[in-house]
Amino acid sequence: MFIKSPLEQFELSNYLGFHLFNLNISLSNFGFYLAISIAIVIFLAIINLLPNNSNIIPQKFGIAMEAIHHTMLSLVDSQIQNNNKSKVNGHLYFPFIWSLFVLILFSNFLGLIPYSYATTAQLIFTLGISLSILVGATILGIVIHKAKFFGLFLPSGTPTPLIPLLVLIEFVSYIARGLSLGIRLGANIIAGHLTMSILGSLIFSLMSLNLIAFVLGFLPITILVAISLLEFGIAFIQAYVFAILTCGFINDSINLH
């Protein structure tokens, strides 16, 4: 079955469903692949908690896990500065950043499997995560700094007549940061999948014309393969960027930068 429209791959469809006490309970493709991503996160977290085996040199899987662990730990150390006044340690947020990175990373990777479903291409999902992070970071800042947190919306040295305007601008900018966090992720995944889908359909149509076109079609196939490999890189980069910006939100709430 070939995809007739490039947007068809983003449609929601139910895999199974049943009625229970006047409730319609169903499992969609979005829920199925999201559940797989969450299961991967839980599995990797359990693996990290298990004691190390006796191998002096770790295997490929162990090296990959260590790389993810050290990458996220270095990210937290560099992006979230410890607040000596409030005695807040940035390492407290490492499990959250690690889980968030792994969830988005494997959600992106699962979406690259042919005829699978890209959960991170759903803007309602990515915006839900980003707005939840924004609300959580705001609550964190208020809990730590109380009323001083709202000084984040007022640059120092602002003339009195300009205070209402600058507060409004800073507030809108603060909300826009939270929205852009999810839109950036969703838009990049959507653009990549649409590019591969449209290019793949054009190549299939070209190779279906005649024998000469079939032979010539192998040249753009190499381009499609290159774009697919690029999408794997983008999947990792977008997960990493999402983790970096999340650390920035947390750091701003802790240190009021």
Domain limits of the chain? 6-255
Confidence of residue 225 (pLDDT cuts 50, 70, 90): confident
User: What is the structure's pLDDT at 20?
Assistant: 64
Q: What is the rounded distance in angstroms from the CA atom of residue 154 to the CA atom of residue 156?
A: 6
Question: Which ranges in the chain belong to alpha helices (H)?
Answer: 29-49, 60-79, 94-111, 123-145, 163-207, 211-216, 218-255
User: What is the structure's pLDDT at 1?
Assistant: 41
DSSP at 83: B
Residue 84 has pLDDT above 60, yes or no: no
Q: Are 126 and 183 in contact (CB under 8 A)?
A: yes
pLDDT digit string, tens, across residues 27-83: 788 888 889 999 988 888 887 766 655 455 556 667 777 888 888 888 888 888 766
pTM exceeds 0.95, yes or no: no
Q: Are 118 and 108 in contact (CB under 8 A)?
A: yes
What phi, psi does 73 have (nearest 5°)? -65, -40
Q: Are 49 and 95 in contact (CB under 8 A)?
A: no
The mean pLDDT value for 148-163 works out to 78
More confident residue, 164 or 237: 237
Report CA torsion sign: 246, 174, 127, 23: positive
pLDDT digit string, tens, across residues 181-206: 889 998 888 888 888 888 877 777 77
Q: What is the rounded distance in angstroms from the CA atom of residue 231 to the CA atom of residue 237?
A: 10
Q: What is the rounded distance in angstroms from the CA atom of residue 211 to the CA atom of residue 56?
A: 56
The mean pLDDT value for 93-119 works out to 89
